[in-house]
Each structure stands twice: as C-alpha cells, then as structure tokens.
Amino acid sequence: MSEYFDVLEHRDVEVREQALFAVLPEALKTAVARAPAIAEQLQGVNVGDISNRNALANLPVIRKSELLERQLARRNGANKADVAAQNEIERVFGGFSTIGWGQALRVFASPGPIYEPESARADYWRFGRALFAAGFRKGMLVYNCFSYHFTPAGSMFETGAHAIGCTVFPGGIGQTEMQVQTILDLKPDGYTGTPSFLRLILEKADAMGVTLPSIKRALFSGEAFPPSLQKWFADRGIEGFQAYGTADLGLIAYETEARDGLVVAEDIILEIVRPGTTEPLPDGEVGEVVVTTLNPDYPLVRFGTGDLSAIAPGTSACGRTNKRIKGWLGRADQTTKVRGMFVHPKQVDVIARRFPQLGRARLVVAGAVGNDQMKLVVEVASADASDELKQSLVGVVREVTKLRAEIVFAEPGTLPNDGKIIDDVRSYE
C-alpha cells in the first residue's frame, strides 16, 4: 500500500505549513462574518494577523464543554435579549454553524446533546484518506457497522468510502447472526466499525460453523485498538487500522502501514496544548489535542478535544510527511472535587507559573471517602529546593484552590510525561 490518497500527503513539510497559514486568515474572516460564536471567540482579534503558529497560540481555546454550554444557552433562551433576533440555526447550533436547513444535508446529535451539521460537500468528514491508507480502493464493497442514527459515525465512513469510489452496505449495529448471513451473501472486501463489534460478528460466525474470508481489511474507530487485538485480526487474515476523529471536527489522524503513530489529516491545524491552558507544548510532550479546522460550514478555531496525545518525532516511514501523534493517551479534563471544592488543571498551572524555578507539577489526591489528602509534587533542582520555597507554595496553593496541600519536591525529569496534571488515586471502596 505505497500509494497515496493525493499529492498533499507527501508534499514538503514547509510547503504544507505555508499553505495552511496562507488560507487561515481568510477562513477566519469568513467564520467571524458568518458564525456568531466564532465572532465572539475572536472579538478584538485582527484575524488577518493570524498567519503562523505563534499568532494562533494567542487565540483562546474553546473546549467541548463550552460548545455544549453555548448550544444549551441558545436553545434554552438564556440570553433572552437576543432571543427575538436569533435565527433558528443559531438557536440549534449555538452560533457555530454557517449553514442552515436545506444547505445541511443532515443534522446529527452527540451526547449532551451537541448538534452538528453535515453539508453536501463530498467527503465532508474527510475520512476518504484514512480508508485509502487502510487499503480500501475504488470498486470495493465496504461493510459499514457504525451507527447511522443520532451520531455521525455511519455517515463519516460512508461518505469517505464514496469519495474513493466504494459501494457501502449500511450494516449498522446489533443482530450479529443477520450480519453473518449478510456478509456471507455479499462478500464485502472490508469492514468499518468498532473492533469489538467485528470480533463479535466473527465469533458468531464461528458458533454458526461458517467463515467470512472475504473481509481482508478493516478501518476501526471509537475504541482502542492495541497490538494484541491487531494480532487477533491478523491471525484471521484481516489487516486492521485505526482512525481518530470527532463529530465536531471529522478526521483528525489515521494509521498507515508503517504502524508508527497516527498521521495528522490534511486541511486541519493540530496543536498539543498543556491541559487546562492555551499554551502549546513542545513536540514529544503529552497534552490536549487542539484543532483548528478549515471547514467553512462548521468552523472551529482552537477547539479543545479533551483528548491527550503527543507529537511523535520525525516523519512516518510510509512517506507521508505530515505530523504524527502517538494515538489516544487519555482524557485532558482531570477536574476533580476535593473536600467539596472543585480543583482544575488550570489552577495547578497557575500555581506552577508563579515559580519559574519549577519544572512539571502534579497534584495527587489520595485518601478514602471523607478523608481527602492533597499533595502537590513539583520538579525542582536541589539547589532551589528550600523550606522557604515549600512554604511559599503552601500559601499559593491555598490562595488559588482554597485548600491545603502537602508540598513534595522531585528531581527534574522524574514526573512521567503523560499529560497528567491532577492524579486522583483515592479509594472509593
């Protein structure tokens, strides 16, 4: 599978970067003019100046919880002064969509509910290149077992398959015995869906005493796909790959035959940001995946996914030159409640920034129910690890969080690079 979906995948790294930031200012200008929520997010910003990553890093991050809050506020009429002038599309989508009924082919609902539009543009969710990298080609039959109702997963993979010239059977979920019979009849070339559901289908086939040899490839999403599961499918003659995307952004990154991380999709700008902040992290550091999309129908600027990952070094052995991420490494929203008070990752960052001599910082919450114990572990060189610094930290923690914490010094480089800012290790038994 040494071919490419298009020439964008193997263009020069600098050419890609220049191309993305050449179109970003105009994309932002259009978004501000047509999407009230983006206009509010970028209020006071000269979008014509957002022409590089440093400038982009100065913009606020909008996280999924904030998108939901804005949609709910519009639907519930929280801003009553605006209700009379508010159009139906802003009411439903919270001011993030630039298209309305008729222009949108479909509208989907993710948990929350968060509503997302899908326009008539071909391969709207941009999953075509992920399918191509997984070995799907024109003229194949794709057996799609993602859900077709409420959430957009089914449509994501169907429109991507159509973009590369495949026919799709909408298998959906459930009814494993019927799935087995249909696969026997149709003999599809490949499967799209969760790995757990394909495994259920194959195990049902075993129980029925039949084999399903036509499926040679699969593109999975929505669940972890560890090497052990990759081997399980490979032993059955199925080469499985994974794709990472969200209902808000579409495709974010995808696996290739190199098996060296997930290649970032074209036409998005991906950053790794320190959890709870807007600060981009250096390559290799674990943080929150933040994406700016150039989708003119549903523009999202510095959208915090809440997922943790890190940029992998170098470029992929498959020849694709875009950045790679290390895959899904957990959730960035580590907010927890201690002694009745919410503590946020951003507060830990605020504390650490007061002391330039500190490296990484981690708040460890331990104890049993009703006996919370809070400990702030900070990396600091031995020469700076004084009692005076410890007492100063105790005071700042209390000022910022309204809670007391024990301070523990650690040698620089000893805290894990896993993006964890708050580690809740309490026993709930």
The pLDDT tens digits for 78-133 are 555 554 445 888 999 999 999 999 999 999 998 888 999 999 999 999 999 999 99
Q: What is the pLDDT of residues 208-217, one digit of tens each?
A: 999 999 999 9
Helices (H), 78-175: 80-83, 88-93, 128-133, 153-163
Q: pLDDT tens digits, residue range 11-66?
A: 999 999 999 999 999 999 999 999 999 999 999 999 999 999 999 999 999 998 89
Tell me the pTM: 0.85
C-beta separation of 398 from 404 below 8 A: yes
How far, in whole angstroms, is CA 98 from its chain's centroid?
22
Domains, the chain, in order of start with CATH, read: 336-424 (3.30.300.30)
Distance, in Å, from the CA atom of 267 to the CA atom of 228, rounded to the nearest integer, reads 32
CA 330 distance to own-chain centroid: 10
